Amino acid sequence: MAKTTKTVKKMVLKVPVAGKAGGKPTTKKVTIRRKKLTIPHDQLSGMVLDELFKTIEARKGADPSTSHSAKLMSRGMSKVAQKFGEEAVECLIEAVSGNTQALIAESADVLYHLMVIWVASGVAPADVWAELERRKGISGIAEKASRVQKLATAFGLATSKIP
């Protein structure tokens, strides 16, 4: 696994902690004081996403003239969702065209706009991470089939096919 060296004076990490019997997993804040810290890329990536989410969350009520995140959220969920869709399409176009650098840039845009949706909707990254953890080890085919069946049942359909 690749490592990144980051110079820090103080870093506060949220570490997963097992919940009480039958409860949701929680996190515990741990403060690390070091000059140099070697962090595996997968953990650094999570930290970057957590920092991005906190920044967007902090700008939710900010002046729209000074913050792109605030401006986007001030325009309402339909505009936030539209912007996310546009970025997702641009990401797909770059993937199909084989332009790796543009795909990386558009992927970052997609992640940013997804997090704007989360902030605007009151969804915390920890909730999404918990859902991904719940799905770990479950076949993607089996997991999707269970969601389709639940959706069909919720709408009183006799089929698992979505019309």
Q: pTM for the full model? A: 0.63
| Confidence at residue 102, expressed as pLDDT on a 0 to 100 scale | 94
Would you list the domain boundaries of the chain?
Answer: 63-135
Helices (H), 13-139: 41-58, 68-74, 77-97, 100-121, 125-135
| Confidence at residue 136, expressed as pLDDT on a 0 to 100 scale | 85
Confidence of residue 151 (pLDDT cuts 50, 70, 90): low
CB 13 within 8 A of CB 30: yes
Give the residue, 37 or 148, on which the prediction is more confident: 148
CB 70 within 8 A of CB 62: yes
> Encoding tokens for residue 62?
């900010």
- In whole angstroms, give the CA distance from residue 138 to residue 90: 30
Going by C-alpha positions, the residue among 71, 43, 65, 70 that lies closest to residue 55 is: 70
| Confidence at residue 1, expressed as pLDDT on a 0 to 100 scale | 46
Give the residue, 147 or 39, on which the prediction is more confident: 147
Three-class SS state of 160: coil
| Confidence at residue 163, expressed as pLDDT on a 0 to 100 scale | 47
pLDDT mean over 127-150: 79
- What does the pLDDT look like over 58-115, one tens digit per residue? 999 899 999 999 999 999 999 999 999 999 999 999 999 999 999 999 999 999 999 9
> Encoding tokens for residue 2?
């690749």
Q: Which helix (H) or strand (E) holds 140?
A: helix 140-154
What integer best gives the mean pLDDT of the chain?
Answer: 79
pLDDT mean over 7-34: 59
Q: Which amino acid is at 111?
A: L
Quick one: CATH architecture of 63-135?
A: Orthogonal Bundle (1.10)
pLDDT mean over 144-152: 68
CB 88 within 8 A of CB 114: no
| Confidence at residue 145, expressed as pLDDT on a 0 to 100 scale | 73
Give the residue, 67 or 29, on which the prediction is more confident: 67
Cβ-based neighbours of 57, under 8 Å, separated by 6 or more: 119
- In whole angstroms, give the CA distance from residue 52 to residue 125: 11
